[in-house]
């Protein structure tokens, strides 16, 4: 059996079409255009690429898109002052602080300064608390786990009652919110991590296996239950000497070929979860704009 390849790119395009339509409908009815502000401090090359992609996607969705590029020596006081300005700006409905920040800046303090109702990355303690309390409809959920749930719903539907789920990874950005979303969908959830004993045996119990530990190819075929659905969140760059000297390739946390021979469905890397992350950022932004305008929050 060869697993069905879950196409994250196609799913992301579908979400973005719905987001664009929702934003256009909101603007037509209320005059409100969804606004997204991205803040980048420093010259990190990967962050530069991510920020450019987010800006282009926001513009393609018809949003008011603003990018603030600050030098690496920006003080924490100046950065917090900018966050305060964006919090107070009625044309901005989503604020994204690109991470990591340069040394000397406290990411927890900066992210914590963002108005929770504009926290479209879902990283403030308020939104984390709402999700942990089962109030997902009132929360902005971190974009990567939200995108994973869209992909899972495509394969398994909305109700995961009776499904065993194992999430490998316990980060605040992916692992913990992923587990909470699975619980809300009625799955029985176990969170594993780097200190879990006999990880393969635990993973083999999973009908849904989510890999988000950041270690390339960690989960081999012996970690996959026959017929399981595998969601690979990992994005790791590894040497690819077959492509030429100094070349690299992107791989996930799952050994794809081994897992695909056993699972019923699996996300590839690249082309799986990655495209969904930006799509769900746009979805959160238009949801924030609707909330600010007193309109019902759209679902994606």
pTM: 0.94
266 and 177 in a common domain: yes
- Quote the CA–CA distance of 231 and 265 in Å, as a whole number: 8
Whole-angstrom Cα Rg for the chain: 19
Retrieve residue 153's tokens: 């719903």
98-107: b (≥16 Cβ within 10 Å) or e:
bbebeeebee
153 and 218 in a common domain: yes
Please say whether the beta carbons of 232 and 211 come within 8 A.
Answer: yes
Please say whether the beta carbons of 95 and 105 come within 8 A.
Answer: no
**C-alpha torsion sign, points 48, 53, 54, 56:** positive
Taking residues 178-182, report their average pLDDT: 97
pLDDT in tens, 252-274: 999 999 999 999 999 999 999 99
75 annotated as a binding-site residue: no
- Give the list of residues 6+ apart from residue 135 with CB closer than 8 angstroms, or none: none
Is 3 within the bounds of a domain?
no
- Residues with catalytic roles: 54, 98, 121
208 annotated as a binding-site residue: no
- Give the list of residues 6+ apart from residue 273 with CB closer than 8 angstroms, or none: 8, 144, 147, 148, 151, 231, 232, 233, 267
Q: Nearest-CA neighbor of 114 among 106, 123, 105?
A: 123
- Quote the CA–CA distance of 22 and 30 in Å, as a whole number: 12
Task: Flag whether pLDDT at 243 surpasses 90.
Answer: no
235 annotated as a binding-site residue: yes
In whole angstroms, what separates CA 25 from the centre of its chain? 25
254 and 188 in a common domain: yes
In the chain, how many domains are there?
2
pLDDT in tens, 59-110: 999 999 999 999 999 999 999 999 999 999 999 999 999 999 999 999 999 9
215 annotated as a binding-site residue: no
Range of the domain at 190: 143-275
Helix (H, G, I), strand (E, B) or coil at 205: coil
94 and 191 in a common domain: no
CATH number at residue 49: 3.40.50.10860
């Amino acid at each position: 059996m060869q697993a069905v390849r879950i196409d994250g790119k196609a799913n992301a395009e579908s979400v973005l079409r719905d987001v664009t339509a929702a934003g256009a409908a909101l603007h037509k009815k209320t005059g409100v255009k969804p606004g997204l502000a991205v803040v980048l401090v420093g010259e990190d090359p990967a962050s530069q690429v991510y920020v450019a992609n987010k800006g282009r996607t926001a513009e393609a969705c018809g949003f008011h898109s603003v990018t603030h590029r600050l030098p690496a020596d920006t003080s924490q006081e100046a950065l917090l002052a900018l966050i305060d300005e964006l919090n107070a700006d009625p044309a901005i409905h989503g604020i994204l602080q690109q991470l990591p920040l340069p040394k000397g800046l406290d990411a927890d303090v900066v992210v914590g300064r963002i108005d929770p109702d504009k926290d479209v990355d879902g990283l403030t303690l308020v939104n984390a608390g709402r999700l942990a309390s089962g109030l997902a409809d009132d929360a902005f959920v971190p974009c990567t786990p939200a995108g994973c749930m869209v992909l899972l719903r495509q394969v398994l539907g909305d109700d995961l009652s009776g499904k065993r789920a194992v999430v490998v990874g316990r980060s605040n950005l992916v692992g913990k919110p992923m587990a909470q979303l699975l619980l809300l969908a009625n799955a029985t959830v176990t969170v594993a991590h780097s200190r879990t004993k006999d990880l393969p045996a635990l993973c083999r119990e999973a009908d849904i296996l989510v890999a988000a530990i950041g270690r390339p190819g960690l989960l081999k075929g012996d970690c996959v239950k026959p017929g399981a659905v595998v969601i690979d969140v990992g994005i790791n760059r590894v040497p690819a000497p077959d492509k030429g000297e100094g070349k690299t390739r992107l791989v996930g946390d799952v050994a794809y070929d081994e897992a695909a021979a056993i699972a019923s469905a699996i996300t590839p890397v690249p082309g799986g979860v990655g495209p969904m992350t930006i799509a769900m950022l746009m979805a959160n932004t238009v949801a924030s704009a609707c909330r600010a305008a007193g309109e019902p929050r759209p679902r994606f």
